[in-house]
A and B are shown apart, each in its own frame.
Chain A
Amino acid sequence: MIFWTSFLAAIRLLVSGSPEVWPVIWLSLQVSGIATLIATVIGVPLGYLLGVSRFGGRAALMLLVNTAMGFPPIVVGLIVYIAISRSGPVGYLNLLYTPTAMVIAQVIIGAPLVIGVTTASVAGVSRDIRLQVRALGASRMQETMAVLAESRTGVMAAVIAGFGGVISEVGAVMLVGGNIEGRTRVMTTSIWFWTQYGDFGRALAWAIILIGIALVVNAVLTISQNASVVYET
């Protein structure tokens, strides 16, 4: 019963235009969107290099990336918190309890996900395809773009994994953002807040909104995933 009433409450919240709802959704999308974008810009090229290269320390780097993929978000939040707190090495930047701090934490959480999934996807592209493209006269950059196009499905999955990993985390943004109403409160910290407050209905409503937003964004990303551009007879 509570789920049904919470679902209705979620709808009411969304259509009400309440100042506590849409700004929170917008901030969540901004923080996680920017973090995903930065993680993609960093992660896809690194993932590509790890996927195609064969060098001595590759296995060690892969271990690092795979470990980082499973790193607890709250530990990331703790480390960033210490770094940007007043007594921390970059405390002079006054980033604590700001959306910028939240973006930084989420980039650190999301980048390994993008790198790891991109690496796996690129490594799965047959070496023969790269050879064929090179044999037709591709420069290094053209070969890179061809491989990324071939692994487009996997690269999009990497972006989706990165976004999913950051939009849903609560520990890091709570620590570095402080869940300040009107300033750093996002959907996940709203769920935490209302749960602590004892209003499970509202908490569930936010949960439904979060799932719904994530669904819409992932639907957009998934639609842009195409089947492999290369086929083999």
Chain B
Amino acid sequence: MGHGAPMVRGSDVTVRYRGRTVLDIPNITLPARRTYALLGPSGAGKSTLLRVLGLLERPSAGCVFFDGVEMRAGDLAARRRTSAVFQKPYLLRGTVADNVGYGLKLRGIHRKRRHEDVSWALERVGLAGWEDHSALTLSGGEAQRIALARALAVHPELLLLDEPLSYMDPLLRWRLTLEFADILKSEQVTALYVTHDQDEAAVVADVVGIMRDGRLVAEGDSEETLGLPADEWVASFVGMEPAMRGRVVASAGGVVQVDCGGTAIEAAADVAVGADVSLAVRPEDVALRRSGGDEGAHGAENRIVVTVAELHPKGALVNVVCEAPGVRFGASLSRAAVRDLGLAEGSSAVALFRAGAVRVREVGAG
């Protein structure tokens, strides 16, 4: 290996196909030894950006740097510092060992060392001893684990994963998400993980970037990016209401009170009094109680009387959009809970959420 997991940076990266700009990224940085999840709808340019940063495709303009050194797509030695897992595993006919060792064989690694690396990689993905299995008889989950082992076996410095779990059924997908997240954290590689599923991104990533129409529209720590939408579109994409606005009117002990124009919200944040802020709370962090009923012991710093503005069913859950003077946010409840509380458009309820669940960002801050 020799170099160590690098910090990867793309600068002024542009890709044009037939006169149409499909990617326009002034700057993107993948922190060393961290997982960066690239989130966005289909056609946002996520896979194109992955290919450019992974030196698999030459951009129309712009550069890619590994630890400050420019890398080019045609540079085989540079490309061999990376490896990838795609949506489909594309296994070769032969044994599991043949497949996992494929990248090593391409690099001319001799047989004995290949055997050691293959065994290590298989153990890493929980398939120790599977060397002699036929690659043609694997289940979908096993095949994708073999694909990950194949990518890990070459000890990459940059690992690219392009929607590796999108073809799995929900149960298997969730199990593999947790396994992949664990492997990525323990391997300490720089990883770029492309997905359209924010739950997957939240589990695997340290940093999340959200793309739309070839541009990066939000980026940052995964909790903040997914918990405090940068704009209305991002809010809609991550399933939240747009961020609320207010002004910090008090601050004590790491908790600020924000006046949102008629409603006060407490948030665990370190912002000066008088600062204008945007703030949001994830629907999963909001509990609703019957207005005037027994709220039970909740320990939530925020207790707001709200009016139900809208109800949006989402599978087994319902997103209840709540409004109070100056604020609007969602609460995620089960259908049974909605029925028990008698919630309907126009009905009243009490919203409860902790100060620690509220994300705050100073408006105008970088």
Interface residues of A (CB under 8 A from B): 128-129, 131-132, 134-139, 142, 227, 229-233
Contact = CB atoms under 8 A, between A and B. Distances in A.
A137 B93 contact: no
B365 interface: no
A135 B84 contact: yes
Interface stretch (B74-82, B218-226, B312-320, B322-330): B74-82
B288 interface: no
Given A135-B160, A137-B107, A229 B93 contact: yes
Given A128-B86, A132-B84, A142-B106, A137 B91 contact: no
Contacts of B107: 137
A165 B102 CA distance: 38
A226 to B, nearest CB: 8
B140 interface: yes
B183 interface: no
B88 A233 contact: yes
Contact of B90 (A129, A137, A139): A129
Contacts of B56: 131, 134-135
A137 B86 contact: no
A136 B148 CA distance: 11
A231 B136 CA distance: 7
A232 B167 CA distance: 12
Contacts of A128: 86-88, 90
Interface residues of B, number: 33
Contacts of A138: 106
B83 A137 contact: yes
A131 B140 contact: no
21 contacts: A128-B86, A128-B87, A131-B84, A131-B86, A132-B86, A132-B90, A135-B56, A135-B84, A135-B86, A136-B151, A137-B76, A137-B107, A229-B92, A229-B93, A230-B91, A231-B136, A232-B89, A233-B88, A233-B138, A233-B139, A233-B143
B283 interface: no
Contacts of B54: 135
A142 B89 CA distance: 19
Contacts of A233: 88-89, 91, 138-140, 143-144, 167
A229 B92 CA distance: 6
B150 interface: yes
Given A134-B56, A135-B56, A136-B154, A230 B92 contact: yes
